[in-house]
Amino acid sequence: MPSTKVLEQKKQLVADLTERLKNSCTGLLVTYEGISVADDTKLRKDLREAGVDYTVVKNSLLERAFAETGLTELDQHLAGTTAIATSDEDYAAAARILCGFADKSKKGFAVKGGYLDGEVISMDKIVELSKLPSREVLLANVLGAFQAPVASFARAIQAIVDKGGVEACAPAEETAPAEAPAEAPAEEAPATEAAE
């Protein structure tokens, strides 16, 4: 029977893990068997730089945290060695890094399952997430879309200035011949004579 101190530590670990799962937008479970220390160090560095929290956790603790967060469907993946990667902001970073690492790994490293916004997702969706570009690339694309109209407008203004200003770009006005004042209609003239 574990001591009271050990039980309290485990309860605290479960509480911390539960809070981490609740605050994350995405999480992935992996089996990390057969990877070298150098590969593990590089993987952890890549995940940390992407803002992904990656830890090895006992399956029994994860099972209790899943029960607290409603992710009990992930219990089926709690066999063998298990690590969890969670991200609070970037939906695709963990999937992109871990799936890429699993593809290159010829050993036992593999993605087991995951969740997105508190819902368990299939491996197909995890693979789709892994193919999304990074957050920075997406932001650059959005920024480029916003800047395109402004850049086009700036080029148009510069073209006007290069041609010599607005006056040079305005179409030349044609001078029309001066019109003679309109004569009174012929019907009105006799009416005036009749009035005399």
**56 CB-near residues (< 8 Å, 6+ apart):** 32, 81, 82, 83
- Residue 43 pLDDT: 92
pLDDT values of the chain reduced to their tens digit, one per residue, 196 residues? 668 888 888 899 999 999 999 999 999 999 988 888 898 999 999 999 999 999 999 999 999 999 999 998 999 999 888 999 999 988 889 999 999 998 888 778 899 999 999 899 999 999 988 887 766 766 777 777 777 787 777 788 888 888 876 565 556 555 555 555 555 555 555 555 444 4
- Classified by CATH at the fold level, domain 4-132 comes out as Alpha-Beta Plaits (3.30.70)
Q: What is the Cα–Cα distance from 155 to 109, expressed in whole angstroms? A: 52
- Residue 105 pLDDT: 81
- Domain range annotation of the chain: 4-132, 133-166
Q: Note every long-range contact of 122-129, with CB atoms under 8 Å and residues 24 or more positions apart, other chains counting.
A: 126/28, 126/95, 126/99, 127/95, 127/99, 129/26, 129/91, 129/92, 129/95, 129/96
- Residue 143 pLDDT: 78
- Residue 162 pLDDT: 81
